[in-house]
Structure 1
């Protein structure tokens, strides 16, 4: 005789499995469908540098010398000192961006020239804005589950707001690796800020990436000591303590390579602990710089390291013979720009940089860093770098395309609503761009195909690019 409870259990289990199978069928594909490498409307050869550089004249001619690039960097900093003087209402747009983007700065404030009380007040204002970001918005963890009040409280407590200014003062340091600068000091790996439980998984607790050997000012230490609040050219936020080495200001300045340096020209390049280049000691990302010294047939780099007591030590490491690096900045030529862009194709779109990836503007910042440009990591700020005109959507698509093609390729970045694209040329009267975005398109089979990576395409994705005011920035 069958046991009635056991029979009922088996019946319920079978019903559950049947329901689950039906539900899976209704949900469609298990994963989002990846758009093909060769996107609709493009050709396979468009993914090669020569396709674009051969369509122009003198692809190896230097566009402008390094001295002019440095002048442009300095002029940009000067422009940011007076936002009201910026053309085309850019000043107001930048001010709105600063209010909405916690941690973003135009230029880092000179806190060392303030009194002790003024320093404390400025640091409290920064941390207060981070606490507001944490408590006034909705956040989900790595599994897109909303946080409990206790978890939010733990993150706030780690900021140690009540201890700001206690026996600290402003200290100095160098990053010892490419590191994340965080809006919130998160001690647990699952503590991220996912916007919702649907398609996006970007961590909105992250602000940006700081390259290895970046000088920072240390403003405050978290409750556990696991994070330090710093300010740099890329904004203010929290860096893990083990990724930072402390030193006197003068020593930090001496360790920043000014003349003899190598630039990482690959997407990512390792350096090694020994001459035989067997064991990786660290990595450089495109645009990163390290001091170097040639030793025979091998190149050495000088890398900042953190000693056990937290202080700075400069150590030597080795690069392989075939390392994708340049001694000094690359010559600023159309061919070199396009070569660098193609090295960055098909990289995942990382909105906040929390995965050590890049978005639409940070990928261009890294690319043009290889030539000596110091571009901001924000598309709205970029418009002030070298404003070169704009066009309204009311002009119509044909006029918009004509306006795009009136600007030189490889050196023109077009920005709409903060989204940035690099113009690389035209084909059959249509402009094409190098872009990195998080969007998709409907296929002919009625499925949705997701790009969400760096690609070569027309300006029509994202859909809003032609629906807003487009600003042109020429890097010359």
Structure 2
């Protein structure tokens, strides 16, 4: 269980190969300094499109054609030039990535709850490097490209800097990695931008202890804390940096964690009981965000969405068609290793091992379905990170999760 699966140098090569081959992963540093009109429109339309499905607001009011026209106008398509400069930035706090440049909440018509919000796409975390491709009509939102997603974020959540400064920060060799589900920086009364800032699993921060701050940071002697450098947004929106403290008791690690099966299990269990958050909503994460943050602990970069992950050639993949025997999938799971990923349409589950020959998984899951002892179908809610057996799980009375499984992936 403690044998290294991939070494740090092997992970670097693994990421480089995947970024070069997978269309849903990006080397943000390699994005050109300008985009043509057609290139920029294509990128906007890769995320912002009027839904063909009926949508409602939180109070049940239908979203009208006029509402969609308002969202479309926010895209500022008229402001696109023949050549459009690309800027670069760092995220200064956890922030939502949105389908359109708005905080309006939209839901599927007929939705029984308000958990799946249709404009919620993903999230950025402190220190994430992005390319800033475009601004909304009101200048309050930026269309950004991260290493695995493109969407709209509030301008107040990023700080724009010189490309060299952005990537010097991102590529720092000496860094502290957040290995807990969530931690916070130490409170300070002087610099609120870095005081009690939430940091999620996988966030990577340069270690920095300059001589002039070695004995006093914001009125506190930092000798019993980690000192890190955090990006901040100046009044003009430009990038600055401030130091912050993280208590040594916090769940952090200098450098990436060793990639072992034991560490994969440990990292996954740290999220147990966290509420499900579609697209990282509710200050949580969804099924793909869950597995992605676990693998970020080792430096592994994965596509954002479960479909993109499941269809990608990343790792060692066992593929299944509609007519593949269920026993073949069960056999594959019974010989699988902790960290193997099981993909069904719209969901991903992580294998953690066997109990009495029964494969068990951990997953961040919204609904729950299985057959009762009398053969009736039970449909309920988990809405959080949960451990379950995989074989009994069903999407409906006739179909199991494994019936629908199309890929089982080993990340190595």
Q: Same fold (TM over 0.5)?
A: yes
Aligned to 1:98: none
**Partner secondary structure for residue 279 of structure 2:** coil
Q: 1:361 aligns with which of 288, 297, 310?
A: 288
Q: Which has the higher strand share?
A: 2
Aligned to 1:195: 108
Q: 1:112 aligns with which of 17, 23, 32?
A: 32
Matched, 1:349 2:285: no
Measured in 1, the distance between the counterparts of 2:36 and 2:83 equals: 13
Larger radius of gyration: 1
Aligned to 2:202: 287
**Partner secondary structure for residue 74 of structure 1:** helix
Query: Residues 284 and 119 (structure 1 numbering): CA distance in 2 closer, same or farther, change over 3 Å?
Result: same
Alignment of 1:317-356 (within 5 A): 317-356=244-283
Q: 1:206 aligns with which of 110, 120, 139?
A: 120
Aligned to 2:176: 262
Aligned to 1:123: 40
* Contact 2:177–2:252, Cα closer than 8 Å, also in 1: yes
Q: 1:406 aligns with which of 329, 332, 335?
A: 335
Matched, 1:236 2:150: yes
* Range 145-154 or range 305-314, more displaced: 145-154
Aligned to 1:178: 94
Aligned to 2:215: none
- Aligned residue pairs, count: 387
Superposed CA deviations along residues 160-205 of structure 1, whole A, max 9, x for unmatched, are 110123896211111111221111111xx4x112112432421111
Superposed CA deviations along residues 433-467 of structure 1, whole A, max 9, x for unmatched, are 11122212366798753112211112243534221
Aligned to 1:452: 383
Measured in 2, the distance between the counterparts of 1:129 and 1:296 equals: 48
Measured in 2, the distance between the counterparts of 1:449 and 1:314 equals: 47
Aligned to 1:470: 406
Superposed CA deviations along residues 18-44 of structure 1, whole A, max 9, x for unmatched, are xxxxxxxxxxxxxxxxxxxxxxxxxxx
Aligned to 2:216: none
TM-score calculated relative to the size of structure 1: 0.74
* Range 422-431 or range 60-69, more displaced: 60-69
Measured in 2, the distance between the counterparts of 1:275 and 1:330 equals: 32
Q: 1:390 aligns with which of 315, 319, 325?
A: 319
Measured in 2, the distance between the counterparts of 1:264 and 1:386 equals: 24
Matched, 1:315 2:242: yes
Q: 1:461 aligns with which of 371, 376, 393?
A: 393
Aligned to 2:213: none
Measured in 1, the distance between the counterparts of 2:171 and 2:361 equals: 33
- Taking only aligned residues, the RMSD between alpha carbons, in angstroms, comes to 2.8
* Contact 2:18–2:25, Cα closer than 8 Å, also in 1: no
Aligned to 1:72: 14
Aligned to 2:359: 431
Aligned to 1:245: 159
Q: 2:343 aligns with which of 412, 415, 418?
A: 415
**Partner secondary structure for residue 278 of structure 2:** coil
Measured in 1, the distance between the counterparts of 2:191 and 2:77 equals: 45
* Contact 2:37–2:84, Cα closer than 8 Å, also in 1: no
Structure 1: state its 5+ residue gaps. 1-58, 82-104
TM-score calculated relative to the size of structure 2: 0.85
